[in-house]
Amino acid sequence: MSFSNIFLIVSVLVAVSYGKTVTVINKHSTALVITVDGVDYTVASKGLVALEQTDEWSGSITAVPLDAEILDGPKTKVEFSLNTLGDSYSISLVDGFNLPVKVVPNGSTNCRAPVCAANILALCPIANQVINSTGTVVACQNSPTLFSAVCPLAVVDETSIGVPSCTTATSYLVLFL
């Protein structure tokens, strides 16, 4: 067996066993703690973490500023369900909002890129604000009407529809803005 045949076989096995890369990019001005299925990654401002996921991975990604005082408050969540027949992904505000985010499928021209980049913290009703000890609004909770108005591509409650699906993406970018 020639070297090129061995290389081809190894390349196919690696591609089959690893699935897709989900790269999380911190566009924020401060470091973030990125949580993927309960595992924390500290990502510097303008930094990234590349995560190799299997073709059958389902999970979620959230983030909070590294110096956040409130760690267990409402968070913007990105949810994935990867599958060899097609992927689904969404920005979920069901639990609340803390950071703007965008999901970009790569390697495809027909897949939607949901984004929630609105300044929801400035728009959040007083009764739904999560405020830290210095009086700064750090999250917004229980505001599906607001969420759907300013982030129409996000899942805002259990009745939301329109979760994007994609059969041709080769990888994904998750950008915390």
pTM score, two decimals? 0.87
pLDDT, residue 165, reads 87
pLDDT above 70 covers a percentage of the chain that reads 89
pLDDT 10s digits, 73-95: 999 999 999 998 899 999 999 99
pLDDT, residue 162, reads 66
pLDDT 10s digits, 52-68: 999 999 999 999 999 99
pLDDT 10s digits, 112-134: 999 999 999 999 999 999 999 99
User: Residue 162 CB: number of other CB atoms within 10 A?
Assistant: 12
pLDDT 10s digits, 146-175: 999 999 999 998 887 767 889 889 999 999
Token pair, residue 143, equals 């505001």
pLDDT above 90 covers a percentage of the chain that reads 79
pLDDT, residue 8, reads 31
Which residue ranges form the domains of the chain, and what is each CATH number?
20-176 (2.60.110.10)
